[in-house]
């Protein structure tokens, strides 16, 4: 039974000697003992030596506690030598190797014995009830000692090797090697226990993966301390191993852990190494990560002066260990055990590059960069592995030029997460850092060498063949060079090498978009460095002028990116001395015509920004030559399109403020530089009239905001008055338009305009009282006050000549009102508050201003034109929906006409008839229950009108609706008039008595006559009887004898006239009203009988039939009287 498990040191490791010592654990089958332990040992007949005592092998298990104490005593002796300054007593020399060997033999014995019984605690408890507690004490004792590794002086790790091997008498040598021995024994002991025995209460820290990590962390600690004492120049010859023993331990751990990983799918060797490396590289994680061997004895993780270099150093040497096979034979790259750790190596390099590299690692030398470049340029057309951020994590289509530019700069400056960059990105980081350090120091030697190596690898044809990946890598490379070295030279070469984007299709659209973004990044770089755009502008503007003519999505996307770059350029602190005026070209006109409204807003903002810069520079008398060039470009390419933009409200939307600002900028510039404006056929006067009075400007908000800005500067108004003689009249007209079409929107904006016109004498004199004027100035509904005050003013004028002059002036304020009044109303907006407000203003205007708008014998007077526009659309018109709005102001229109002499103007009479003809069916409607309702606005026409006008209205209604045609037909809406008359009669005292009188004298004859003439089953017969019933129940009829007498006279006259012509209808009518008012019929009886007697006297043909009918009617009347 071989229990010797101590490492036999062969001194320092020779980096070129891969042969293991013949006495090494690995060559002597140590791993086989662990993975395939023998169970054939006979402990019954054998004795073993433990701690200088010979004891039966089968009794040791009974006295574990005793032997653990012996082991602990030996360990305490070793602990005494953890410090320097110990001198060996030659006369009483301690055999440290024997002590170390005894400790290892005891643990090896426990490992062998427990394996022989498969760690069966149930059997052991029979002979030793405290076996579990004793084993836990053993494990704890070992862990306490292992936890003291970092108490050992660092120099021991560096000088621990000895060619004498275990014959060395130095206590430090054996102390260090005992740490190595126990780590291997402990890990195998734990593995074997866990292999046979399910975890007990003490599982916790003894979890095997935690043990692996602790041991590997300790061994890396040793390597770290060795590394810190090795000069950087010697690193290529030195290894992280103190001696051959620790290299062998690393090798056995590597084989052991990887074998377990294959068997049980647990963490591999590289995973444990990478955990420790990542902790060293991540300082934040390092501060919060503590591990320990033994509770109460904490041990921080690793720290190192140059962690990246150390990590790559140990990774390299641990990779070399994979050249050994499981039997300890070194096969180099032919070994099947090799496992790569490229990803971790790349992370380490990224960590190094992300920190800018370190000058003390390597001097500035081109060969290193060249070597890397030779590797990468061959793969430039391939996506690089391990990229988890940057432009490839999202589609390049979503990356703006600014995103790319920022990514390039952040990578050079180190403001990025290195673990998320590709290997090529890290190379660019290294290249940029290298050039930044050297080129900034005016050392062009390195740049010239790099430039030659990079430029020589590209040609226009080669770049043309690149995929989207290759193009991005190419652009990233050249942008890195441009940012850190000769910007002008690199940019020129890059633009020359990049393919043209003038002709593209669906297959290469993405590549063209990427190429364009690369070119735009150059603009950003030039702007940031203050370089003149003249050197590169032709390449850019040529492309812009072409793609601005296209309407495909790719061109639109390219133009969006270009406009965004212009926004960045002109929003910066530029003084327009970089030839920025070259950006302003014909593309603006085409782009504003074709692009979406959001993009229009972007371009307008840029143009406003340019004007502000020009004005600021002129005030400072700075760069006047460049300012003149910029203003000339604006007038040449933008002014005409701005005029057109105000005609499309949908395109402008809620961005009207900026369009108005731009219009004001052109107007004011034309005032100050009339020659420049005239050069392009513009002037301040034409621009002002265009934006303030043009009928095609459909969005009143533009006019309102434009005027608000203009009126803020008195000097500008003064100069405008010189150019525009009728400026005040234009502003009054604009105020009227803004007040009506822009109700309750930005009161502040319209108030500025209102305050201006309020101080004009011609407006001030309209108001008869100060109270009216004060209310006008401070009321949001000032337009209504203005209209009503104008009506009062006209009435106050004493002679007709003054009124004529006032009317002319007043009409000038509302010039073309018919052309713009409905511009803001559509079928979709007819139910909005704005639409109601506009019609309210129109109604007030017609009701109060009809005398001013009406010109007798003028066919197209303002009043007639306006009424036809807002109330009487033709049948073919697309604006028939306006009737729903106009019905709200119907009474205002009718009452407005009342103030005119309608009797003397046939055209006004026709107009009034047309209004009733088209609106009666809208004003009297049927509800869901079948009942009809007369609208209040219609009733108001009769309630508020004077008697003479009412007389005229009733006559018009009767002639229009109750005139029977030659085909014996009536107007289709005659029944609605009957409903109106009944409603007026039922209203009682709500309406004046003259209404009832007029209905009797004018309407009743038409109604009864129509009754007599229509056919028997005509609906009018029932309506006529209902009307008579409404008369009989009318308040004034019942209370006023004069009214009753007048009705009898009217009925008598009608019956006498028509009884002989329409005898049957006449008697039918009387039969119908007899039950309603028998007294009226009784009054008519003598008159009817007298007519019949005269007919009989002269022997008329129908006398006999009338007598017969008369007799029957008399009987009918008697029956009614009897029933009553």
DSSP string, 639-676: HHHHHHHTT-HHHHGGGHHHHHHHHHHHHHHHHH-HHH
pLDDT mean over 184-199: 79
What pLDDT is stored for residue 200 in this prediction?
44
pLDDT mean over 711-738: 93
The mean predicted confidence, pLDDT, of the chain is: 87
Q: Where are the domains of the chain?
A: 26-355, 361-533, 573-709, 912-1122
Asked if residue 1052 has pLDDT above 90, the reply is: yes
Q: State how far the Cα of 945 lies from the Cα of 984, in Å rounded to an integer.
A: 13
- Name the more confident of 58 and 939: 939
- Name the more confident of 286 and 898: 898
Asked if residue 28 has pLDDT above 80, the reply is: yes
What pLDDT is stored for residue 201 in this prediction?
39
What pLDDT is stored for residue 969 in this prediction?
82
Contact 896, 943 (CB under 8 A): no
What pLDDT is stored for residue 126 in this prediction?
76
What confidence category does residue 150 fall into, taking pLDDT thresholds of 50, 70 and 90?
confident
pLDDT mean over 836-856: 94
Q: State how far the Cα of 747 lies from the Cα of 778, in Å rounded to an integer.
A: 10
Which parts of 759-832 fold into alpha helices (H)?
761-764, 770-778, 782-796, 800-813, 817-820
Sign of the C-alpha dihedral computed for residues 675, 678, 680 and 684 taken in this order: positive
- Comparing 368-377, 555-564, 791-800, 1081-1090, the range with the smallest average pLDDT is 368-377
Q: State how far the Cα of 683 lies from the Cα of 672, in Å rounded to an integer.
A: 10
Contact 41, 114 (CB under 8 A): no
What pLDDT is stored for residue 296 in this prediction?
54
Asked if residue 850 has pLDDT above 70, the reply is: yes
Is the whole model's pTM more than 0.75, yes or no? no
Neighbours of 1047 (CB within 10 A): 23
What pLDDT is stored for residue 965 in this prediction?
81
Residues with Cβ within 8 Å of residue 428, at least 6 apart in sequence: 408, 411, 412, 476, 477, 480
122 is written with which tokens? Answer: 């149930």
What pLDDT is stored for residue 205 in this prediction?
37
The closest alpha carbon to 1074, from 1061, 1055, 1096, 1102, belongs to 1055
Q: State how far the Cα of 1124 lies from the Cα of 763, in Å rounded to an integer.
A: 72
DSSP letter (8 states) at residue 294: E
What confidence category does residue 633 fall into, taking pLDDT thresholds of 50, 70 and 90?
very high
Residues with Cβ within 8 Å of residue 466, at least 6 apart in sequence: 380, 381, 474, 511
Residues with Cβ within 8 Å of residue 584, at least 6 apart in sequence: 610, 630, 633, 634, 636, 637, 638
- Name the more confident of 365 and 928: 928
**CA gyration radius, the chain:** 54
What pLDDT is stored for residue 581 in this prediction?
95
Asked if residue 362 has pLDDT above 60, the reply is: no
What pLDDT is stored for residue 856 in this prediction?
84
DSSP per-residue string spanning 263-283: HH----HHHHHHHHHHHHH-H
The closest alpha carbon to 33, from 112, 103, 143, belongs to 112
pLDDT mean over 219-239: 89
Asked if residue 871 has pLDDT above 90, the reply is: yes
Asked if residue 796 has pLDDT above 90, the reply is: yes
Q: C-alpha distances in angstroms, 369 versus 96, 366, 428, 907?
A: 53, 5, 10, 96
What pLDDT is stored for residue 368 in this prediction?
75
Q: At what angle do helices 244-264 and 269-281 cross, to 10 degrees?
A: 110
> CA angle at residue 467 from 466 to 469, to 5 degrees?
110
766 is written with which tokens? Answer: 């309209």
Neighbours of 406 (CB within 10 A): 15
Q: State how far the Cα of 1065 lies from the Cα of 1070, in Å rounded to an integer.
A: 9
- Comparing 183-197, 241-255, 713-727, the range with the smallest average pLDDT is 183-197
- Comparing 83-87, 518-522, 687-691, the range with the smallest average pLDDT is 83-87
DSSP letter (8 states) at residue 49: E
What pLDDT is stored for residue 388 in this prediction?
41
Beta bridge partners of 291: 299
pLDDT, one tens digit per residue, over 307-318 is: 888 999 999 999
Q: State how far the Cα of 753 lies from the Cα of 392, in Å rounded to an integer.
A: 55
What pLDDT is stored for residue 154 in this prediction?
86
Asked if residue 282 has pLDDT above 90, the reply is: no
């Amino acid at each position: 039974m071989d229990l010797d498990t101590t490492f036999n040191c062969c001194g320092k490791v020779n980096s070129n000697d891969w042969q293991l010592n013949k006495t090494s654990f690995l060559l002597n089958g140590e791993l086989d003992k662990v993975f395939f332990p023998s169970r054939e040992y006979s402990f019954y007949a054998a004795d073993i030596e433990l701690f200088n005592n010979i004891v039966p092998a089968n009794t040791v298990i009974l006295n574990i506690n005793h032997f653990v104490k012996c082991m602990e005593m030996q360990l305490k002796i070793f602990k005494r030598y953890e410090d320097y300054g110990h001198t060996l007593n030659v006369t009483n020399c301690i055999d440290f190797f024997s002590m170390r060997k005894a400790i290892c033999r005891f643990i090896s014995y426990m490992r062998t014995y427990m394996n022989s019984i498969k760690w069966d605690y149930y059997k052991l408890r029979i002979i030793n009830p405290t076996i579990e507690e004793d084993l836990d004490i053993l494990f704890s004792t070992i862990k306490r000692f292992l936890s003291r590794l970092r108490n050992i002086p660092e120099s021991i790790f560096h000088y621990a090797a000895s060619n004498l091997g275990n014959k060395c008498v130095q206590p430090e040598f054996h102390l260090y090697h005992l740490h190595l021995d126990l780590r291997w024994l402990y890990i195998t002991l734990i593995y074997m226990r866990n292999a046979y025995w399910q975890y007990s209460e003490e599982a916790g820290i003894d979890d095997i993966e935690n043990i692996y990590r602790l041991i590997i962390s300790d061994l890396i600690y040793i390597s770290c301390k060795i590394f810190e004492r090795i000069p950087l120049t010697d690193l290529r010859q030195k290894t992280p191993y103190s001696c051959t023993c620790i290299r062998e331990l690393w090798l056995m751990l590597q084989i052991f852990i990887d074998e377990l990983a294959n068997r049980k799918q647990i963490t591999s060797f590289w995973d444990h190494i990478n955990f420790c490396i990542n902790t060293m590289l991540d300082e934040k994680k390092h501060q919060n990560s503590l591990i320990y061997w033994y509770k109460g004895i904490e041990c921080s993780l690793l720290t190192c002066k140059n962690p990246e270099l150390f990590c790559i150093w140990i990774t390299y040497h641990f990779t070399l260990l994979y050249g050994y096979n499981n039997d300890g034979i070194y096969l180099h790259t032919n070994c099947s055990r090799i496992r790569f750790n490229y990803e971790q190596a790349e992370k380490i390099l990224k960590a190094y590059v992300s920190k800018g590299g370190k000058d003390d690692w390597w001097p500035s030398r081109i060969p290193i960069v060249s070597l890397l470049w030779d590797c990468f340029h061959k793969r430039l057309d391939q996506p690089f592995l391990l990229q988890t951020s940057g432009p490839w994590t999202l589609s390049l289509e979503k990356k703006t030029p600014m995103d790319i530019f920022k990514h390039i700069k952040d990578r050079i400056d180190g403001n990025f997460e290195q673990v998320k960059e590709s290997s090529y990105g890290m190379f660019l980081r290294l290249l940029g850092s290298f050039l930044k350090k050297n080129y900034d120091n005016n050392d062009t030697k390195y740049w010239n060498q790099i430039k030659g190596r990079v430029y020589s690898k590209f040609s226009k044809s080669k770049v043309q063949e690149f995929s989207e990946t290759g193009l991005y890598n190419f652009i990233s490379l050249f942008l890195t060079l441009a940012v850190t070295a000769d910007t002008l030279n690199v940019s020129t070469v890059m633009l020359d090498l990049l393919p043209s984007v003038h002709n593209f299709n669906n297959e290469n659209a993405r590549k063209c978009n990427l190429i364009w973004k690369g070119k735009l990044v150059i603009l950003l770089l030039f702007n940031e460095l203050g370089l003149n755009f003249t050197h590169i502008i032709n390449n850019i503007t040529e492309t812009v002028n072409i793609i601005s003519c296209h309407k495909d999505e790719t061109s639109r996307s390219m133009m969006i990116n270009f406009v965004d770059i212009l926004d960045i350029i002109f929003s910066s602190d530029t003084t327009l001395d970089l030839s920025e005026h070259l950006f302003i070209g014909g593309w603006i006109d085409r782009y504003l015509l074709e692009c979406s409204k959001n993009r229009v807003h972007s371009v307008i903002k840029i143009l406003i920004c340019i004007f502000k810069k020009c004005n600021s520079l002129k005030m400072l008398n700075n760069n006047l030559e460049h300012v003149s060039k910029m203003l000339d470009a604006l007038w040449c390419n933008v002014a005409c399109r701005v005029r057109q933009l105000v005609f499309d409200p949908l395109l402008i939307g809620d961005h009207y403020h900026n369009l108005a600002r731009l219009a004001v900028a052109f107007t004011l510039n034309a005032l100050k530089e009339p020659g420049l404006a005239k050069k392009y056929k513009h002037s301040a006067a034409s621009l002002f009239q265009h934006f303030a009075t043009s009928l095609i400007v459909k969005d009143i908000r533009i006019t309102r905001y434009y005027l608000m800005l203009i009126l803020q500067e008195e000097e500008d108004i003064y100069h405008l008055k010189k150019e525009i003689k009728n400026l005040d009249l234009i502003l009054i007209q604009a105020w009227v338009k803004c007040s009506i079409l822009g109700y309750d929107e930005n009161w502040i904006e319209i108030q500025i305009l209102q305050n201006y016109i309020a101080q004009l004498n011609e407006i001030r004199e309209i108001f008869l009282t100060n109270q009216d004027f004060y209310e006008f100035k401070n009321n949001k509904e000032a337009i209504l006050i203005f209209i009503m005050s104008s009506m009062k003013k006209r009435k106050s004028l004493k002679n007709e000549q003054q009124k004529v002059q006032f009317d002319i002036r007043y009409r000038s304020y509302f010039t073309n009102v018919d052309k713009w009044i409905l511009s803001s109303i559509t079928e979709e907006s007819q139910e909005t508050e704005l639409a109601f407000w506009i019609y309210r203003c129109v109604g007030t205007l017609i009701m109060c201003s009809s005398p001013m708008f009406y010109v007798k014998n003028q066919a197209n007077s303002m009043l007639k034109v306006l009424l036809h526009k807002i109330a009487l659309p033709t049948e073919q018109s697309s604006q028939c929906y306006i009737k729903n709005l106009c019905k709200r102001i119907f009474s205002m229109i009718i009452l407005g006409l009342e103030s005119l002499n309608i009797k003397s103007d046939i055209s006004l009479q026709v107009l009034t008839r047309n209004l009733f003809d088209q609106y009666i069916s809208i004003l009297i409607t049927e509800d869901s229950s079948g009942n009809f309702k007369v609208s209040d606005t219609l009733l108001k026409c009769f309630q508020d009108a004077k008697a003479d006008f009412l007389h005229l209205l009733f006559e018009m209604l009767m002639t229009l609706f109750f005139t029977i045609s030659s085909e014996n037909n009536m107007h289709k809406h005659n029944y609605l008039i009957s409903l109106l008359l009944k409603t007026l009669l039922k209203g009682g005292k709500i309406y004046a008595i003259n209404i009832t009188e007029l209905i009797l004298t004018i309407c009743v004859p038409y109604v009864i006559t129509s009754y007599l003439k229509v056919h028997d089953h005509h609906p009018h017969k029932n309506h006529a009887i209902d009307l008579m019933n409404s008369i009989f129940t009318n308040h004034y009829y019942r209370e006023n004898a004069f009214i009753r007498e007048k009705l009898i006279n009217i009925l008598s006259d009608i019956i006498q006239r028509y009884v002989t012509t329409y005898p049957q209808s006449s008697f039918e009518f009387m039969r119908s009203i007899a039950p309603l008012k028998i007294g009226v019929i009784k009054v008519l009886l003598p008159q009817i009988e007298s007519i019949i007697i005269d007919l009989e006297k002269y022997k008329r043909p129908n006398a006999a039939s009338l007598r017969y009918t008369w007799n029957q009617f008399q009987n009918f009347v008697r029956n009614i009287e009897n029933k009553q």
